[in-house]
Amino acid sequence: MTKQKVLVTGGAGYIGSHACVELLEAGFEVVVVDNLSNSKPESLARVQKITGKTLSFYQTDIRDHAALTDIFAKEAPDTVIHFAGLKAVGESCEQPLLYYHNNVYGTLVLVEVMTAANVKQLVFSSSATVYGESSSPQYSEHFPLGAINPYGRSKAMIEDILRDLSAADHKNQVQNPWKIALLRYFNPIGAHSSGLIGEDPNGIPNNLMPYIAQVAIGKLSQLSVFGDDYPTPDGTGIRDYIHVVDLVKGHLKAITALNGDKFKDGACNAYNLGAGRGYSVLEMVHAFERVTGKTINYKISPRRAGDLAECFANPELAWQELDWKVEKNLDDMVADTWHWQTLNPMGYV
Ligand code: NAD
Ligand code: UD1
């Protein structure tokens, strides 16, 4: 098979930059389209440093139909991995239209351009936030959906659009049907083992792991643990943390699956990408202290609105159909986060 070319939207971001490394190392040609609204070009320079390989970069907004059409004409990719999107839950509640325009309309433009270019293989960054209330903390793909904020709803809407696209191709028995993997991420953390790329949040982090790392390095003074009265063993919230390198390897496995028998007649399937086990907030704090030798200053604060007590993946479908499982453990996630944080205390400057 000739070398496949993958167009990566949002490739300069946290997860996208790690995906670029794995794709280049696996021999794919890589084209990145990113408007740099939440990233810096330095991440792509570092990707090329890590791999010793080059990629093509277009600083373009995916909502720019004409520019995206030109890129598809020039690059003729085989597959698209679609990371581009805004992801801050709180901001999405303040500015819902921004989120629907960027995430939903952006995806509409992307799939229109892909259809016109007859490029119909897509791996989409969805999220565990698309799930609704459930009696079990371990989420399977067939569980009911029911996102509770505009960010989550933008992901759920995109999933619906992509399922409809695939169903229409099936109904019309088209020759080159859409092949789509919706990857529902649990809680990605960690960084590449080189320490050259990692998560570089703008301002004060919303998520637990970057917050702990910034307390450890002295940029923030104290972690607020949001609630210690949940019905969990230590009373703090439990999540399924997944190393970002394991996560992006799931995308390469998804590309293999899209090219295989399972998708040969076209399909749009959702897969959980998680470890299948959870850790509490205090377990994360203590793991960080153990691995780094730093003391994390924390206080117990009220619960954060919208938080669940416990949420972790049932990843069996991805094991079976994508031949994918996490390989890294909690210590790897903490050590790699800390390596990135200590080498880049101010992020990409
Ligand atoms: P990120 O913000 O680091 O990366 C997203 C990238 O997309 C950024 O480089 C940004 O500049 C770019 N972008 C945004 N809108 C764009 C547009 N209209 N045109 C072109 N580029 C655009 O975020 P991330 O953590 O790497 O997340 C990647 C994807 O995974 C997002 O879609 C996010 O919603 C999803 N996701 C992330 C998490 C997480 O915890 N990080 C969890 C579940 C799902
Ligand atoms: C959050 C988002 C979710 C998004 C995910 C990954 C909310 C409600 N949910 O999920 O939509 O897909 O990030 O980007 O924002 N915690 C603290 N103190 C902190 C930060 C977090 O105690 O300063 C706790 C939380 O209460 C939770 C756990 O740590 O129990 C993990 O929080 P976080 O990293 O924000 O992830 P999620 O809440 O799972």
139 is catalytic: no
* Structural contact between residues 335 and 246, judged by C-beta atoms closer than 8 angstroms: no
User: What share of the chain in percent tops pLDDT 70?
Assistant: 99
* Minimum mean pLDDT range among 132-136, 181-185, 234-238, 269-273: 132-136
Whole-number pLDDT of residue 257: 98
Query: Mean pLDDT in the chain?
Result: 96
Whole-number pLDDT of residue 2: 62
Query: Confidence class of residue 133 from pLDDT cuts 50, 70 and 90?
Result: confident
Strand pairing category for 279-280 and 238-239: antiparallel
- CA separation for the pair 200, 185 (Å, rounded): 19
Residue 80's SS3 state is strand
CB-count burial class (<10 Å; 0-12, 13-18, 19+) for 1: exposed
Residue of minimum CA distance from atom 38 in ligand 2: 307
Rounded-to-10 torsion of CA 19, 23, 24, 28: -150
Question: Would you state the CATH architecture of domain 5-343?
Answer: 3-Layer(aba) Sandwich (3.40)
Whole-number pLDDT of residue 5: 98
Helix axes 281-292, 330-343, angle to 10 degrees: 60
N residues, the chain:
349
Rounded-to-10 torsion of CA 201, 205, 206, 207: 80
Rounded-to-10 torsion of CA 23, 101, 95, 89: -30
| 187 within ligand 2 shell (Cβ under 6 A) | yes
| 302 within ligand 2 shell (Cβ under 6 A) | no
* Structural contact between residues 85 and 136, judged by C-beta atoms closer than 8 angstroms: no
256: closest CA among 36, 41, 85, 4? 4
Q: What is the DSSP string of 288-345?
A: HHHHH-PPPPEEEEPPPTT--SEEEE--HHIIIII-------HHHHHHHHHHHHHH-T
Whole-number pLDDT of residue 209: 96
| 126 within ligand 2 shell (Cβ under 6 A) | no
Query: Confidence class of residue 229 from pLDDT cuts 50, 70 and 90?
Result: very high
Query: What is the average pLDDT across 173-194?
Result: 97
Whole-number pLDDT of residue 189: 98
* Structural contact between residues 346 and 201, judged by C-beta atoms closer than 8 angstroms: no
H or E stretch covering 267: strand 267-273
Atom from ligand 1 closest to the CA of residue 38: 11
Check whether 38 has a pLDDT greater than 80.
yes
User: Is the pTM above the cut of 0.85?
Assistant: yes
Check whether 304 has a pLDDT greater than 90.
yes
User: What share of the chain in percent tops pLDDT 90?
Assistant: 96
Whole-number pLDDT of residue 1: 53
CB-count burial class (<10 Å; 0-12, 13-18, 19+) for 130: buried
Residue 16 CA, ligand 1 centroid: distance in Å: 8
Residue of minimum CA distance from atom 1 in ligand 2: 207
Atom from ligand 2 closest to the CA of residue 225: 22
Residue 67 CA, ligand 2 centroid: distance in Å: 35
Whole-number pLDDT of residue 231: 96
CB environment 29-62: b (16+ within 10 A), e (fewer): bbbbbbbeebbbebbbebbbebbebebebbebbb
Residue 348's Cβ-side half-sphere holds a number of Cα atoms within 13 Å equal to 22
- Phi/psi at 322 (nearest 5 deg)? -110, -10
Residue of minimum CA distance from atom 43 in ligand 1: 127
Query: What is the average pLDDT across 7-34?
Result: 98
Atom from ligand 1 closest to the CA of residue 151: 34
Report the residue among 33, 83, 153 best suited for mutation to probe ligand 1: largest number of ligand atoms under 8 A from its CB.
83
* Structural contact between residues 183 and 235, judged by C-beta atoms closer than 8 angstroms: no
- CA separation for the pair 44, 56 (Å, rounded): 10
